[in-house]
Amino acid sequence: MAEATGSLSPQLHRVGCKRKLNKEDEAKLRQLLEENPFLTDAQLAQQLGGKASRRTVNYYVTEMGFAPKVPAKGDEPLTPHVITETKSYFRRLRKIPIRDSVYVDETYLYANAYPGRGRAMPGVRVHVPLPTHARRYTVYWAITAEGQLHPPILQREHCNNETFLQYVTETLAPRLRPGMTVIWMRMTEQEPSTHTLQS
């Protein structure tokens, strides 16, 4: 019998661990994630003044219903122009012997970019805020049927015809043998181009 109440009913509310975060803390967590879904558990714990560990913060965030999500990205339209250019590109490729082909392409690397996943409530999409704090680098590489022609080349400049020509004259051309065909494809709506260079 509980002396305070005189009741024999189980005092279930007196058992178990007390919650480390109160309602105000939970509301702050929700607000922080809604404003920036890319905050990590460690960053959230720091925003709460150390009231809870990263593991505890993750428990509360999951309990609220926040789930990991990949940021939404706009898909490039597959226009008739792109389809026509692509078909023409592959028809030209069939005429080039594979042993004499050098495929050149470029891609981008990002430093200080936002994480690949954020967290949001069900039905809410995660969008990367703009502008981001990422630094973008262009990476060039060339490959043949025998393997890569040179190690990947990293440039700070954005890839365009001028920077690509510099890459060709300074890095690519000295490594080519007579009869090789260099194929470089850049397919965008703003600057569609398929370049074929013969050494």
* Residue 109: inside a domain: yes
Average pLDDT over residues 109-138: 72
pTM, two decimal places:
0.45
Are residues 108 and 150 both part of a single domain?
yes
Q: Is the pLDDT score of 188 beyond 60?
A: no
Count of the separate structural domains present in the chain? 2
Q: pLDDT category, 27, cuts 50, 70, 90?
A: very high
Cα separation, 179 vs 99, in Å, equals 10
- Report yes or no on 34 lying in a domain: yes
List, in order, residues 6 or more apart from 29 with CB less than 8 Å away.
21, 44, 48, 57, 60, 61, 64
Which domain covers residue 162, as residue numbers?
A: 80-198
For residues 103 and 130, membership in a common domain is answered with yes
If asked whether residues 180 and 120 sit together in one domain, one would say yes
Asked if pLDDT for residue 187 goes beyond 50, the answer is: no
Residues 28 and 117 both lie in one domain:
no
Within 8 A by CB and 6+ apart from 169, the residues are none
Does one domain contain both 112 and 151? yes
pLDDT at 191: 44
Residue 26 is assigned to a structural domain of this protein:
yes
Structure tokens at 173: 């051309």
Q: Report the DSSP beta bridge partners of residue 181.
A: 101, 198
